[in-house]
Amino acid sequence: MHIEHVGLWTDNLERLKVFYETYFGASAGDRYVNPRKQFESYFLTFASGARLELMRRPNLPNGVRNLHDSGAATRAGYAHLAFSVGSKQQVDDLTVRLRAAGYPVVDGPRTTGDGYYESSVLDPDGNRIEITV
């Protein structure tokens, strides 16, 4: 058994697609549109085979995300996505690149108490992304 994909709601499908393509090497499939349900999505595939589904529909409820300045969620549920980039240097380089592009770096790079070398950034919708070795 394995996780087939993770789905994220967004109010700006194209912006989020470009973010994951640009900084995490995702490859987007064709845009899916269901006019009757007012739903649209992209499946993004990563080199490892992992997939992320970005989904949009009008009138998403407010408060889907409630973040502190640290990027920590204040409700149960989704906490973060983690991307392994291969080395400490690549964690550092991608963190610098994202910070320079204006994305919030909310933690690190650092070695955690359980031995991970990581940084945490927020994507354009405020979803926490961990960048690990």
Instruction: Return the structure tokens found at 101.
Output: 């592009």
pLDDT for res 9 = 92
pLDDT of 92 above 90 = yes
Kindly state the percentage of the chain with pLDDT values over 70.
88
Average pLDDT value for residue range 72-99 = 87
Instruction: Return the structure tokens found at 122.
Output: 């927020």
Average pLDDT value for residue range 79-84 = 93
The single residue listed with the structure tokens 């992992």 is 50
Q: Cα dist. 116→69, 86, 88, 108, 120 in Å? A: 22, 12, 10, 11, 12
Could you tell me which residues are beta bridge partners of residue 50?
Answer: none
pTM, two decimals, is: 0.85
The phi and psi torsions of 113 (rounded to 5 degrees) equal -60, -25
Residue ranges of domains in the chain, CATH in brackets: 1-58 (3.10.180.10), 79-133 (3.10.180.10)
Question: At a CB cut-off of 8 Å and minimum separation 6, what does 59 contact?
Answer: none
Kindly state the percentage of the chain with pLDDT values over 90.
79
pLDDT for res 59 = 80
pLDDT for res 61 = 65
Over residues 20-64, the pLDDT tens digits come to 999 999 999 999 999 999 999 999 999 999 999 999 998 876 544
Residue 35 preceded by cis peptide, ω within 30: no
pLDDT for res 66 = 42
